[in-house]
Amino acid sequence: MQIIRITSDSINFWCPICGVKNVSQWEEHIQPCPHYEGTLVLGEFIEGDKNGIFADAQDKLAEQVDVPNKNELTIIDILGRDLNDTYVGFYVDAPAPNPQTSFNLYNTDWHITRKLTE
Residue 105 in contact with Zn ion, rule: CB under 5 A: no
Q: Which of 3, 33, 41, 94 binds Zn ion (CB under 5 A)?
A: 33
Report CA torsion sign: 31, 37, 42, 44: positive
For residue 105, what is the DSSP state? E
Residues 6+ apart with CB under 8 A from 82: 1, 57, 60
72/85 with CB nearer Zn ion: 85
22/57 with CB nearer Zn ion: 22
18/46 with CB nearer Zn ion: 18
Binding region for Zn ion (CB under 5 A) out of 12-20, 57-65, 67-75, 86-94: 12-20
Residue 30 in contact with Zn ion, rule: CB under 5 A: no
Round to whole Å and give the CA distance between 79 and 105: 10
Round to whole Å and give the CA distance between 53 and 39: 10
Residues that bind Zn ion (CB under 5 A): 15, 17-18, 33, 35
